[in-house]
Amino acid sequence: MQIGIAGAGFSGAVIARRFAEEGHRVVVFEQRDHVAGNCHTERDPDTGIMIHRYGPHIFHTGDERVWNYINGFGEMVPFNHRVRTTVGGRVYLLPVNLLTINQLFETAMGPDEAREFIEMQSDPTIGEPANFEEQALKFVGRRIYEAFFYGYTRKQWGLDPTELPASILKRLPVRFSYEDSYFNHPHQAMPRHGYTTIVEAILDHPGIEVRLSTPLTDDDRVDFDHVVWTGPLDAWFGYDQGRLGYRTLDFEEIRADGDLQGCSVMNYGDFETPFTRIAEHKHFAPWEEHDKTVAFREFSRLCGPDDTPYYPIRLANDKGLLRDYVARAEAASGVTFVGRLGTYRYLDMDVTIGEALAASDQMLESLSSGRTL
Ligand code: UDP
């Protein structure tokens, strides 16, 4: 079969590889001039520091299949992601843990005491939290919410937290211990030579042709028995019902000698500070030595038609539009939609790879039992 894939991020690359290994011919169309999508990394020409061009990506997973898969295409170096946040001119640890609580409240509580104390801060009038703010007020109380979540979230999403789904906050744990690892997963790592070399290795197969700086057009579709679309869901339909909302990011570069902030990611919880965080990229590769440093302030804003989409907003008013596009995507023949943009969901890299493997299994299984894709 001839398979056309739009997008050379993790989704497109993983599916391309599976089909090529089964003897199919695959052409991957990538509109940017590089592979790896928003995970793209490249060395800064001046300093040699590995830059995550579209913002920090830290690999973490509890999925053994995904962990084994990524290790098959490059060396992963254990990396424990730690995040700090500056609020009111002071630095605290994230995710909220016993040290954060004790520093904020100027106490010296033990785990049980702190748990009870935080429970007392909970707003008892909230049942099932209907939005981000209610989720925070119920689980961490007003003081922690206002210090660490309110300002950051308003900047990140451009909306009042009462308008955002509770699910966004569920990504972040609250810990009653001094453990300050940002993620809970058993495997947490960074690729020694960046994500782009991993995606290049996945795509390096004689059955795969990659066309950079080449979007897959309507005219191209007829050349293939099946198309896998990892671009924006609404783009496939020519945005005919309107555009699904995304946040995009602007980066402001900082260059300095030595070490700028002493950690990879410093969040800024105050609403008054216009950026959400500063990422200092050499700290994502602590095994390397660099005398100089490069960091980026991140500013979040609504994504325009010519901007790079990052975070799907998925607000109530996007839901009707999304339902409509999803129904049409499910009914469409000759095309499969996958990935963060193709399914309009906030996906971590490991979930993206896991879903791409599962989608390949399903498509290859359909083919081998004589069904159409
Ligand atoms: N968040 C916050 N304060 C922080 C960090 C995160 O309020 O210092 C909220 C914010 O709404 C964010 C969500 O928690 O969108 C999820 O954070 P995460 O670190 O998972 O965001 P990502 O890494 O995807 O940018």
**CATH number reported for the structural domain that contains residue 196 in this entry:** 3.40.50.720
- The whole-number pLDDT of residue 372 equals 80
Cα–Cα distance, 289 to 311 (Å, whole number): 32
Q: Write the DSSP string, 309-332.
A: P-EE---HHHHHHHHHHHHHHHH-
Kindly state whether residue 290 falls inside one of the protein's structural domains: no
* Same domain flag for 96 and 59: no
Neighbours of 58 (CB within 10 A): 19
End position of a domain, from candidates 145, 171, 197: 171
Q: Ligand 1 mean position to 249 CA, how many Å?
A: 14
- What percent of the chain has a predicted confidence (pLDDT) above 90? 92
Give every CB contact of residue 178 below 8 A, 6+ residues apart in sequence.
97, 98, 99
Q: Which residues of the chain have pLDDT under 50?
A: none
Q: Tell which atom from ligand 1 comes closest to the C-alpha of 94.
A: 8
**Ligand 1 contact via 267 beta carbon (within 6 Å):** yes
Kindly state whether residue 307 falls inside one of the protein's structural domains: no
* Same domain flag for 234 and 319: yes
Kindly state whether residue 90 falls inside one of the protein's structural domains: yes
Kindly state whether residue 121 falls inside one of the protein's structural domains: yes
* Same domain flag for 209 and 87: no
Q: Confirm whether pTM is higher than 0.90.
A: yes
* Same domain flag for 90 and 145: yes
Kindly state whether residue 308 falls inside one of the protein's structural domains: no
**Ligand 1 contact via 326 beta carbon (within 6 Å):** no
- The whole-number pLDDT of residue 316 equals 62
Residue 7 structural domain: 2-40+50-72+187-241+313-368
Kindly state whether residue 164 falls inside one of the protein's structural domains: yes
- The whole-number pLDDT of residue 315 equals 76
End position of a domain, from candidates 110, 138, 171: 171
* Same domain flag for 10 and 129: no
Q: Tell which atom from ligand 1 comes closest to the C-alpha of 277.
A: 8
CA distances from 46 to 50, 54, 285, 293 (A): 11, 19, 17, 10
Cα–Cα distance, 111 to 304 (Å, whole number): 46
Q: Tell which atom from ligand 1 comes closest to the C-alpha of 182.
A: 19
* Same domain flag for 90 and 167: yes
Torsion angles phi and psi, residue 209, rounded to 5:
-110, 130
Closest residue to atom 7 of ligand 1, CA basis: 149
Q: Is the ipTM of this complex over 0.90?
A: yes
* Same domain flag for 62 and 8: yes
**Ligand 1 contact via 255 beta carbon (within 6 Å):** no
* Same domain flag for 90 and 232: no
* In contact, 293 and 304? CB cutoff 8 Å: no
Kindly state whether residue 344 falls inside one of the protein's structural domains: yes
The angle subtended at Cα 105 by Cα 115 and Cα 113, nearest 5°, is 25
Kindly state whether residue 261 falls inside one of the protein's structural domains: no
- The whole-number pLDDT of residue 83 equals 97
Neighbours of 197 (CB within 10 A): 18
Q: Which residues are catalytic?
A: 171, 175, 247, 277, 298, 346, 348
* Same domain flag for 97 and 127: yes
* Same domain flag for 327 and 226: yes
Q: Ligand 1 mean position to 156 CA, how many Å?
A: 8
* Same domain flag for 59 and 88: no
The position carrying tokens 């001119």 is: 89
- CATH number of the domain encompassing residue 152: 1.10.3110
What is the tally of structural domains in the chain?
2
- The whole-number pLDDT of residue 103 equals 97
Cα–Cα distance, 91 to 104 (Å, whole number): 10
Write the DSSP symbol of residue 49.
P
* Same domain flag for 29 and 99: no
Cα–Cα distance, 134 to 161 (Å, whole number): 9
Q: Ligand 1 mean position to 125 CA, how many Å?
A: 25
End position of a domain, from candidates 137, 171, 205: 171
**Ligand 1 contact via 38 beta carbon (within 6 Å):** no
* In contact, 252 and 297? CB cutoff 8 Å: yes
